[in-house]
Amino acid sequence: MSASGNLMDFLDEPFPDVGTYEDFHTIDWLREKSRDTDRHRKITSKSKESIWEFIKSLLDAWSGWVVMLLIGLLAGTLAGVIDLAVDWMTDLKEGVCLSAFWYSHEQCCWTSNETTFEDRDKCPLWQKWSELLLSQSEGASAYILNYLMYILWALLFAFLAVSLVRVFAPYACGSGIPEIKTILSGFIIRGYLGKWTLLIKTVTLVLVVSSGLSLGKEGPLVHVACCCGNFFSSLFSKYSKNEGKRREVLSAAAAAGVSVAFGAPIGGVLFSLEEVSYYFPLKTLWRSFFAALVAAFTLRSINPFGNSRLVLFYVEYHTPWYMAELFPFILLGVFGGLWGTVFTRCNIAWCRRRKTTRLGKYPVLEVIVVTAITAIIAYPNPYTRQSTSELISELFNDCGALESSQLCDYINDPNMTRPVDDIPDRPAGVGVYTAMWQLALALIFKIVITIFTFGMKIPSGLFIPSMAVGAMAGRMVGIGVEQLAYHHHDWIIFRNWCRPGADCVTPGLYAMVGAAACLGGVTRMTVSLVVIMFELTGGLEYIVPLMAAAVTSKWVADAFGKEGIYEAHIHLNGYPFLDVKDEFTHRTLATDVMRPRRGEPPLSVLTQDSMTVEDVETLIKETDYNGFPVVVSRDSERLIGFAQRRELILAIKNARQRQEGIVSNSIMYFTEEPPELPANSPHPLKLRRILNLSPFTVTDHTPMETVVDIFRKLGLRQCLVTRSGRLLGIITKKDVLRHMAQMANQDPESIMFN
Amino acid sequence: MSASGNLMDFLDEPFPDVGTYEDFHTIDWLREKSRDTDRHRKITSKSKESIWEFIKSLLDAWSGWVVMLLIGLLAGTLAGVIDLAVDWMTDLKEGVCLSAFWYSHEQCCWTSNETTFEDRDKCPLWQKWSELLLSQSEGASAYILNYLMYILWALLFAFLAVSLVRVFAPYACGSGIPEIKTILSGFIIRGYLGKWTLLIKTVTLVLVVSSGLSLGKEGPLVHVACCCGNFFSSLFSKYSKNEGKRREVLSAAAAAGVSVAFGAPIGGVLFSLEEVSYYFPLKTLWRSFFAALVAAFTLRSINPFGNSRLVLFYVEYHTPWYMAELFPFILLGVFGGLWGTVFTRCNIAWCRRRKTTRLGKYPVLEVIVVTAITAIIAYPNPYTRQSTSELISELFNDCGALESSQLCDYINDPNMTRPVDDIPDRPAGVGVYTAMWQLALALIFKIVITIFTFGMKIPSGLFIPSMAVGAMAGRMVGIGVEQLAYHHHDWIIFRNWCRPGADCVTPGLYAMVGAAACLGGVTRMTVSLVVIMFELTGGLEYIVPLMAAAVTSKWVADAFGKEGIYEAHIHLNGYPFLDVKDEFTHRTLATDVMRPRRGEPPLSVLTQDSMTVEDVETLIKETDYNGFPVVVSRDSERLIGFAQRRELILAIKNARQRQEGIVSNSIMYFTEEPPELPANSPHPLKLRRILNLSPFTVTDHTPMETVVDIFRKLGLRQCLVTRSGRLLGIITKKDVLRHMAQMANQDPESIMFN
């Protein structure tokens, strides 16, 4: 009979906690998989017994798809609700709608009859705070009142958010992606994906985004979607009782989260595959895709942007790009890589300071101060006052004939009449020059404030701020190149492709390339980034510029350090995350890593038939190992199996309570047959059921690169080390991570959990 | 010192063949990986020595990208050349261009000045064979001459193709995807991706596609791209000397192949990930994407379709789809699943017959007969006479105002004037009814002839024929629904969305959905299929119909048998392919699978220090195992390592030639120190260098599902079975595959190779 088969029989007995894991511990993927196969086998064999069982087996087979459907629906709905609420609350900082206070500025004016197309932003029903309270919309006092109201609302939102997080769900803070990566790699953090986290994160996300802080909703939306995934998987025993299967659902939920964040279902799936997931079988790929699509279509039917577009920033460019433009695109890539490096280093330094100094004790005050600074500096500059996604949208846009933005204030040639979507390059007007200055100031402000914002005790994503930094830099470069090409079209680099009267440079495209570069520099995403951008533009035309920038940005950033922001935060928090992307290339052997090391006391082992219950209880009390190898005898040290600490404790407790004759000096045996004992000895305790008869072993000469590979690919918790069949030691996942940290000249003590 | 380190030192000695594999053998992924890490370590440590070494290390790091660039360029160029040549040769069956015989019909008429837009298909320079030879273009004799010329050309092309394949490159036949899947999973088939195969497959692919046989160029293009990948990887020692690394390049090449086949780079990468590849690290994902993009852009700059479109079938629909249409879409999915099942079963039955009966001895005759039958039946029907990709293109198309196709022969309402791209549903004209009959006949013909065509000794893909079958069925269903909706728009199912005068049903969309369903039924692709289709239409709008059809088709087909056509061909040929998708759910243990089985003679082992050279040579001669476990002694059976047969032979041969004092009764030892020998005994032979000190072991109680998982994820060749440290037996990949076949009630002897 198989080891796992034995385990299952045992699990059928009323032992509530067997097969589960303790908080902040690592799961054993092989064991989870084997448990799932057992469950599946049982259902299959039962299904032949009766029609009812057959229907139950069908339901079980379909439950995966049902969970995906539910996740897609809920994630899409939540994303839609968040979008609508953010829209309203962001406008609330500015004014209020007289006809119905729950209308946003745009909704207010759309429902008003008096609106003409030109004045679609101005309508009598929408009143700024100064108009409502002072009855004046211009002048210094009106400006000051609006300024004050803006700051007050921002402070109120931020205070509410940080208080809610502190009181109800401390796990709701941050972007959540580092923790989700760790959880998906097989780590237990109870409550991190709980219902409270879901509720509070959704509410506070709306609050913080509305407060105007320099953060985005994309990362937190992935966390929200994973909470949905966790919630729905708890409804089906197939997923709730198996930590491995549950993680398959969570991978798909992450895809759904990105799908609704950007309206990019394929990009979402690839993001989950490339960035977040650890174990991603093909079945999950297909289901993730389904969840991502359902989520995207749910969001579209809610239609929060009012334009039936699925995507967050829909853009349409009218001109192709030219080879010579690759040079500025690559420069933007370099900028993105530098920004990624600077941001990651500064942000980690600041977060470390927060963790280690008194700063960390005043999270509410910190949020209030940062919000106040943000609001005070942001208000006077139109590019920081508006919401960051609107800013990005404006920067991405091509200047059409109807565009009223300051960025499109070009000097038109009065003699030229042309179709609206093919406007030639024109000299920049005053508005463009003003915009350049304001953008430069906004860029510096964004760079600085984002470093301090990301990591505070509120939900905060950094996709949007990163993209904003890149888009501002990109747009400025784009306008620069455009004006250069206009004024110097006889230069050799422009002569071939940019004649006078041609529309050759699209500054919006530069903004998009810059955004991709900065996002890539921070997160080190590659394929998924390009695919997300491809889904935004909907054409393969601009994939080459995007790829050039993304590749450059990744190379530049990697040259300064391999870690993206998520990996850096994982390391900062000491999570036991074994990255698939890190190559382990050192020449160490299993014998160098295993415990006990030279000079340490010998490995704590159990013998198969000579230890008493009391011996084992003492061993359990004196050590904190998660399990003990079982050997034939202390002399021969030949390994026969591995027993989990948790199951040993439960089995002994259970036996003492229920089995007669089990006393402290009962012999415990792991063999099939009880050992031969003297006549008057107490009843022995059989524990073969909890013995894992197929523990994973490697020899002491195995290169560590192979051991690391095995830990990664098979998702092991521990591995025993033998030489010529004798047990020598044990390597746990923590040992592997510590060794890797040591080899990379980092502090091995930074790895904290088991 | 590590085992692999030892191995490397040994490899530096002039032993030409060490570290390579024999033909038709399985590679050891762990070993390849460890060899690559060693190589990398060596280069890194050398790079600090001098600037030259540093530059060399940079070049080495960049060689991956260079290989990808070269593959993309060559694959794109070859695809372009193939497209152009096929275009010309297909038209050659019809007639010839007087101005230049190497012009295709379209090129001929485009260069002619006399062409007007309406008559763009007719121009005096293009002469049908009857016009050229009989000076008449109408009438019975002209028809018969053209018919004969069509058959003659087809026979000539097919004969040339099959002869070239037989004489120069027998591996050039078939689609190649089953073999590429097997190769990527870690199997050696020498010459399968060789230069001759590349050349002959490219040439014969043009010939067979032009001959009008019912086959496509998509599968073979993947093979061609993989040949390019193999060629370029042989130029860089990083890839040529490491079978594992080489397979990373081949995975990317497969993506490039699909990318040029459909003009769908993202779909290509996902195809490689989902369908073809085995070991697909994230680094490969990114590089595959690069290769796929380069290939697609190279193809676009060659512009073989003359429309600067990247995609094979560009379509643009003007109307959305409605919920009620999901029903016919799902029906098409069912049809696709049934077609997949019927095709796979019939084709496999026919191919088995070819393998086992005398039929297989006359491949040339077979091709000639099938070509003759195809040409004779195909010519009278316009839908089979035209090339299959033109047919699909026509079926996918929406009927615009300028469409002259018979399929668009609707009765127009003379009172209605409307913009050209929003034509309401109209009653079908005579042309449509004729087309329906012809399509039905063409459908039956395609279904039958494709079964016999796929698997002949010529290059043959089945993407295009499958899509054609689905597109024909889909278009017919679409026209049916359209006419139903037009004539019965008061029916309850149509009332809500299809008012008179509305454009509600797009038959072209049905054709596309049908094509996706049939392709999915045959290949069991899911995500990549939907993404390829998404790239063809360029909009998320139609993803739901496509997904509904693809999912239905997969479920229906899976209900009749889990194997897609590629897996079925892999099984037919007995390749040792361990599918990642198969779930192994049986309750067997390692002890049930390992050899020796009960009653068999004991395992052939080497002892660490007591066997003579002669003993070992006898053992090698008498057995054909690929390696031997090394134990402490026959009594203790404690395992110390594993020695490869190939390396043992080489080491003994080398020692006998070069080392003094090595004779037949020299003791061979694998320990660090030589054993204590009597004074007059001959010089012992130290073989520790070839000993793998970290062989993979599992216990006899390990469930087979875990063993299968380990074999899959770590890519093992063999695994040793122990109990309490004693060696019991060995499990090879072949044993695992045989056991899986046995469990699935198949003949275990069908697994043929090692």
**CATH code of the domain covering residue A122:** 1.10.3080.10
pLDDT exceeds cutoff 60 at B7: no
Interface of B with A in 218-277 (CB under 8 A): 265-266, 269, 273-274
Alpha helices in B524-611 (DSSP H): 527-537, 543-560, 565-573, 590-593
Report the CATH number at residue B711: 3.10.580.20
In this structure, the answer to whether residues B256 and B222 fall within a common structural domain is yes
3-state secondary structure of B77: helix
The reply to whether A599 and A556 lie within a common domain is no
Considering only CB atoms, B282 lies closest to which of A274, A531, A713, namely A274
Strands A126-128, A667-669: pairing is unpaired
One domain, residues B626 and B723: yes
Residue of B nearest to A525 (CA): B286
Instruction: Give every CB contact of residue A601 below 8 A, 6+ residues apart in sequence.
Output: none
- Let me know: does A316 contact A397? Beta carbons within 8 Å: no
Residue B57 lies in a domain: no
Mean pLDDT value across residues B666-672: 88
**B569, B344, B563: which is closest to B447 by C-alpha?**
B344
- Tokens encoding B159: 């004969």
- Among B318, B322, B268, B324, smallest CA distance to B295 is for B268
The pLDDT, as a whole number, for residue A18 is 54
Assigned domain for B515 exists: yes
Classify strands A606-607 and A627-631 as parallel, antiparallel or unpaired.
parallel
In this complex, which of B269, B589, B709 lies closest to A2 when CB atoms are compared? B589
Query: Which residue, chain included where needed, has tokens 């020796």?
Result: B596
Q: Hey, what are B736's tokens?
A: 């695992």
Residues B545 and B595 in one domain: no
Query: Is the pLDDT at B157 greater than 90, yes or no?
Result: yes
- In a shared domain, residues A596 and A558: no
Contact A213, A158 (CB under 8 A): yes
Q: Which two tokens stand for residue B104?
A: 């295709």
CB contact under 8 A, A274 and B285: yes
CA gap A173, A547 in Å, rounded: 32
Report the number of distinct structural domains present in chain B: 3
User: Shortest Cα distance from B140 to chain A (angstroms)?
Assistant: 49
CA–CA distance, B368 with B228 (Å, rounded to integer): 30
* B126-133 contacts, C-beta under 8 A, 24 or more apart: B126/B95, B126/B96, B126/B97, B126/B98, B127/B95, B127/B96, B127/B97, B127/B98, B128/B94, B128/B95, B129/B94, B129/B95, B129/B96, B131/B95, B132/B95, B132/B96
Distance (Å) from the C-alpha of residue A2 to the closest C-alpha of chain B?
Answer: 6
A713 closest CB neighbour out of B640, B702, B714: B714
Q: Residue A684 carries which DSSP code?
A: P
Q: Is the pLDDT of residue A2 over 60?
A: no
Q: How many CB atoms lie within 10 A of CB A30?
A: 23
B293 close to A (CB below 8 A)? yes
Residue A7, both tokens: 């385990």
Chain A: residue nearest B641 by CA?
A: A724
Q: Does B614 map to a domain?
A: yes
Instruction: Quote the distance between the C-alpha of residue A391 and its chain's center.
Output: 24
- Interchain pair A2, B713: CB under 8 A: no
Average pLDDT across chain A, whole number: 86
Which of A139-143, A608-612, B118-122, B510-514: highest mean pLDDT?
B510-514
Contact B47, B56 (CB under 8 A): yes
From residue B112, give the alpha-carbon distance in Å to each of A179, A328, B107, B123, B130: 67, 43, 9, 7, 21
**According to the model, what pLDDT value does residue B320 have?**
78
Phi and psi for A638 in degrees, rounded to 5?
A: -85, 130
Closest residue in B to A30 (Cα) is: B706
Please provide residue B627's backbone torsions phi and psi, each rounded to the nearest 5 degrees.
-170, 170
Span A247-257, mean pLDDT?
Answer: 94
Same domain membership, residue A202 and residue A269: yes
pLDDT of residue B302: 84
**Alpha-carbon gap: B628 to the closest alpha carbon of chain A (Å):** 16
B441 close to B373: Cβ distance less than 8 angstroms = no
H or E element, residue A692: strand A691-692
Q: Do A252 and A284 form a contact (C-beta atoms < 8 A)? A: yes
Based on the domain organization, do A103 and A206 belong to the same domain? yes
| Contacts B585 to A, Cβ<8 Å | 37, 40-41, 44
Q: Which two tokens stand for residue A366?
A: 């910190």
Q: Indicate the SS3 state at residue B351.
A: helix
CA distances from B593 to A276, B721, B732 (A): 37, 10, 9
Q: How many contacts does A have with B, using Cβ atoms within 8 A?
A: 168
Whether residues B694 and A699 touch (CB distance < 8 A) is answered with yes
Residues of A with CB below 8 A from B543's CB?
A: 265, 293
Domain of A294 in residue numbering reads as 62-302
Name the domain boundary from A572, A603, A623.
A572
| Percent of chain B's residues with pLDDT above 90 | 40
Q: How confident is the model at residue B322 (pLDDT cuts 50, 70, 90)?
A: confident
Least confident of B377-386, B503-512, B579-588: B579-588
pLDDT over 70 percentage in chain B? 92
Beta strands A639-644 and A691-692, pairing class: antiparallel
Q: Which residue in A has a C-alpha nearest to residue B282's C-alpha?
A: A274
Instruction: Indicate the residue among B540, B573, B606 that finishes a domain.
Output: B573
- What phi and psi, each to the nearest 5 degrees, are found at residue A509? -65, -40
Please indicate whether, in this complex, the C-beta atoms of A699 and B695 are within 8 angstroms of each other.
Answer: yes
List, for residues B248-268, the tens digit of each pLDDT value: 999 999 999 999 988 888 889
Bond from prior residue into A596 cis (ω within 30 degrees of 0): yes
Judge whether B297 is closer than 8 Å to chain A, CB to CB: yes
Which pLDDT belongs to residue A511?
94
Same domain, B615 and B725: yes
The two tokens of residue A249 are 């659902």
By C-alpha distance, the chain A residue nearest B293 is A544
How close does chain B come to A498, measured CA to CA in Å? 21
Smallest Cα distance from A29 to chain B, Å? 11
How many CB atoms are located within 10 Å of the residue B634 CB? Answer: 11
How far apart (Å, rounded) are the C-alpha atoms in residues A23 and A754?
A: 10
DSSP structure class, residue A561:
-
CB contact under 8 A, A282 and B296: no
CA–CA gap between residue B273 and residue A284 (Å, rounded): 13
- Give CA torsion, residues A603, A604, A608, A612, to 10 deg: 150
Average pLDDT over chain B reads: 86
- In 3-state terms chain B splits into helix, strand, coil percentages (rounded to 5) of 60, 5, 35
Which pLDDT belongs to residue B447?
95
**Residues in chain A, overall count:** 754
At B10, the pLDDT band (50, 70, 90 cuts) reads: very low
CA pair distance A106, A646, nearest whole angstrom: 59
A276-335 pLDDT, tens digit per residue, is 888 777 788 888 989 998 998 888 888 776 655 666 677 777 777 888 888 999 999 999
C-alpha to C-alpha distance for B722 and B695, rounded to whole angstroms: 12
Does the beta-carbon distance from A286 to B526 stay under 8 Å? yes
If residue A719 lies in a helix (H) or strand (E), which one and from where to where?
Answer: strand A718-723
Instruction: Out of A545, A572, A599, pick the residue that ends a domain.
Output: A572
Q: Distance (Å) from the C-alpha of residue A301 to the closest C-alpha of chain B? A: 13
Confidence of residue A79 (pLDDT cuts 50, 70, 90): very high
Residue B436 has pLDDT above 80, yes or no: yes
Q: Per-residue pLDDT averaged across B701-706, rounded?
A: 90
Q: Which of A33, A585, A590 sits opposite B37 (nearest CB)?
A: A585
Q: Is residue A43 part of a domain?
A: no
Please indicate, yes or no, if residue B516 is contained in any of the structural domains. Answer: yes
- The verdict on B618 and B543 lying in the same domain is no
Helix (H, G, I), strand (E, B), or coil: what is residue A643?
strand
Q: Judging by DSSP bridges, how do beta strands B606-607 and B126-128 pair with one another?
A: unpaired
Please check whether residues A560 and A595 belong to one and the same domain: no
Segment B624-638 shows an average pLDDT of 88
Q: Which of B699, B710, B726 sits opposite A693 (nearest CB)?
A: B699
- Which residues, numbered 695 to 754 in chain A, qualify as contacts with chain B under a Cβ-Cβ cut-off of 8 Å? 695, 697-699, 701-703, 705-706, 709-710, 713-714, 722, 724-726
Q: In the numeric block, which tokens belong to residue B748?
A: 């275990």
**Contact in structure between B609 and B667 (CB atoms under 8 Å):** yes
- Residue A36 inside a domain? The answer is no
How far apart are the C-alpha atoms of A395 and A508, rounded to whole Å?
Answer: 6
> Are B616 and B651 part of one and the same domain?
yes
Please, is B349 exposed, middle or buried when counting C-beta atoms within 10 Å of its C-beta (0-12, 13-18, 19+)? exposed
Q: Is residue A135 part of a domain?
A: yes
Nearest to A557 by CA among A258, A239, A343, A385: A343
pLDDT at B162 over 70: yes
Q: Is residue A172 part of a domain?
A: yes
pLDDT of res. B234: 92
* Residues of chain A found within 8 Å of residue B297, distances taken between Cβ atoms: 544
pLDDT digits (tens, 9 = 90+) for A679-700: 888 888 888 888 888 899 999 9
Cis peptide before A601 (omega within 30 of 0): no
Same domain for A343 and A471, yes or no, is yes
- Contact A698/B695, CB-based, under 8 Å? no
Q: Does A493 touch chain B (CB under 8 A)?
A: no
Measured between beta carbons, the chain B residues lying within 8 angstroms of A714 are 709-710, 713-714
Question: Minimal CA–CA distance to B225: which of B69, B70, B82, B75?
Answer: B75
